[in-house]
Each structure stands twice: as structure tokens, then as C-alpha cells.
């Protein structure tokens, strides 16, 4: 029998990732698994002047994401689920794959924006990279598809 013990749920606060959070909560509740919510802040391109005297943009983004994730973790805990969260700065796909290994994850539930054509070609697909390279199952949740989780 396949036992889900740790679910990784990457969160970028898009509609698709908010939907993925609902799926992670449902799977965790039914399987007795813990959930690790991860936000990845992409660094600014190096062409930007880094000698500015104010707090770096990445630090602001990291702090805001951590506060938002802390709120989501509290929602999980209020309903008796085990959840933790973290924010890292880096390449999203690489960071997700690293956290699969570090957290001993055996299921990833993540949203996908469903970009097509030139946009997908230029920006790549984080979800596609994770599906190809992850050493565990990956459930992709799209913001526009029909949900199978009810509000009961």
C-alpha cells in the first residue's frame, strides 16, 4: 500500500496554487500526512543595480510570503493537520526539486498556470520540469479545471 506521509505544496499565491492548497489539505486529512508549503522568490536579474541603499526586493518578497504562508499553516493547524512552511530565493523548479529530497516528500501537489505557445516556450514550465524530474508522484491542479473536492 502506498502511504503518503509528506506532501509538498509549492505556493505562488496564484488561483491555481490556492486551489492546490485545498487539494493538499484534503489529501493530508484523508491520509494523515503532513504538508510542507513552499514559496520560491525568484531573484532579480543581475543587471539591476544592487548598490541601492534600501532593503533588497527579494527580502521584502520573502518576508511577505512568509507572513502569508504562516496564515495558511495556522488554517491547517486549526483543523488538526500537520503543516510547516518555508520561503527560499532561487529558481522555482530547482528549489521545488531540492525540497522534495530534503523533506523526504512522497507526493507533490502544485498548481499550473497552463501557459501555452510563446509564453510557455520563453518562460518554461515549472510544473512540467517538476513532473519530469521528481522522484515521487506529482498532482497538477489547474485553476480552470473542474474540481473533484467538494465543500462539504
* C-alpha triplet 47, 48, 50: angle, nearest 5°: 120
In a domain, 152, yes or no: no
For residue 73 the three cell numbers come to 499553516
List the pLDDT tens digit at each of the 152 positions of the chain.
678 999 999 999 999 999 999 999 999 999 999 999 999 998 877 655 555 555 568 888 899 999 999 999 999 999 999 999 999 999 999 999 999 999 999 999 999 876 655 555 544 589 999 999 999 999 999 877 666 655 55
Is the residue at 37 inside a domain?
yes
Read off the C-alpha cell for 119: 509564453
Nearest to 138 by CA among 126, 123, 148: 126
Is residue 50 a part of any domain in this protein?
no
Structural domain range at position 81: 6-44+55-142
Exposure on the CB side of residue 105, measured as CA atoms within 13 A: 30
Distances (CA, A) of 63 to 43, 83, 95, 136: 14, 19, 18, 30
Distance in angstroms (rounded) separating the CA atoms of residues 144 and 114? 9
Amino acid at each position: 500500500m502506498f502511504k503518503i506521509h509528506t506532501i509538498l505544496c509549492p505556493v505562488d499565491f496564484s488561483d491555481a496554487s490556492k486551489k492546490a492548497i485545498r487539494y493538499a489539505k484534503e489529501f493530508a486529512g484523508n491520509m494523515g500526512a503532513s504538508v510542507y508549503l513552499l514559496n520560491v522568490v525568484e531573484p532579480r536579474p543581475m543587471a539591476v543595480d544592487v548598490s541601492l541603499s534600501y532593503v533588497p526586493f527579494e527580502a521584502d518578497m520573502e518576508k511577505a510570503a512568509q507572513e502569508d504562508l504562516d496564515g495558511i499553516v495556522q488554517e491547517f493547524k486549526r483543523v488538526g493537520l500537520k503543516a510547516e512552511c518555508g520561503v527560499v530565493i532561487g529558481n522555482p523548479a530547482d528549489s521545488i526539486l531540492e525540497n522534495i529530497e530534503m523533506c523526504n516528500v512522497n507526493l507533490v501537489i502544485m498548481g499550473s498556470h497552463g501557459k501555452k505557445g510563446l509564453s510557455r516556450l520563453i518562460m518554461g514550465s515549472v510544473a512540467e520540469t517538476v513532473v519530469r524530474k521528481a522522484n515521487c508522484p506529482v498532482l497538477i491542479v489547474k485553476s480552470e479545471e473542474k474540481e473533484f473536492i467538494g465543500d462539504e
